[in-house]
Chain A
Amino acid sequence: ETGVTQSPTHLIKTRGQQVTLRCSSQSGHNTVSWYQQALGQGPQFIFQYYREEENGRGNFPPRFSGLQFPNYSSELNVNALELDDSALYLCASSLESYEQYFGPGTRLTVT
């Protein structure tokens, strides 16, 4: 059984650019949740995908968008990057909405 994986591990982008982060869910899981964690802060919920549909969304602007694919892997896209988007982005997979298993995260730096 493979765990949750994320790519890339680290990423540096310039303000105004666009970024795509990827997450492969754990085998057997059909739900992926994305979180943003700024330095020294707790994770903030961005959105959740369940069976390829957005199932819930936190307080993030529309420039944060996502996709879930038929194999339940997921992408997080952020357009028009801002300096405050610098953070660790975590994805977590689960079966339905229950216990979530977290990936190692992608550290995004926006300069």
Chain B
Amino acid sequence: KNEVEQSPQNLTAQEGEFITINCSYSVGISALHWLQQHPGGGIVSLFMLSSGKKKHGRLIATINIQEKHSSLHITASHPRDSAVYICAVPPTSGTYKYIFGTGTRLKVLA
């Protein structure tokens, strides 16, 4: 079992739909990182959060530390949102590498 699990693995939505991607983790964390990767592209940082909620444009990320769960929401989705979304756990004290989630491949149809 992966230490960081995402669901769904694949998601197809119509333009304008509200999208939710979930991330559950079993390790202790100080923060969680949401990342975006367009096909063939590099990785872009979306959010780093350790509590509550963060919003940037049409993207909203929430985290519940007690339940070890985070969600990424996209409002009014658009075809340009089509990408792989990855949640990742940054290193904590005594560790040095990210633990990446399994990724969610999102396709938004026009």
* A contact residues vs B (CB 8 Å cutoff): 33, 42-43, 45, 48, 50, 55-56, 58, 88, 90, 92, 97-105, 107
Contacts and interface: CB of A to CB of B under 8 A. Distances in A.
A42 B86 contact: yes
Interface of A is mostly: strand
Contacts, number: 52
A27 to B, nearest CB: 16
A102 B41 contact: no
Interface stretch (B14-22, B63-71, B98-106): B98-106
Interface in B40-89: 40-45, 48, 86
A90 B91 contact: no
B99 to A, nearest CB: 9
Interface residues of B, number: 21
B2 to A, nearest CB: 10
A97 B91 contact: yes
Contacts of A88: 42
B42 A42 contact: no
A33 to B, nearest CB: 7
Contacts of A107: 40
B1 interface: no
B97 A48 contact: yes
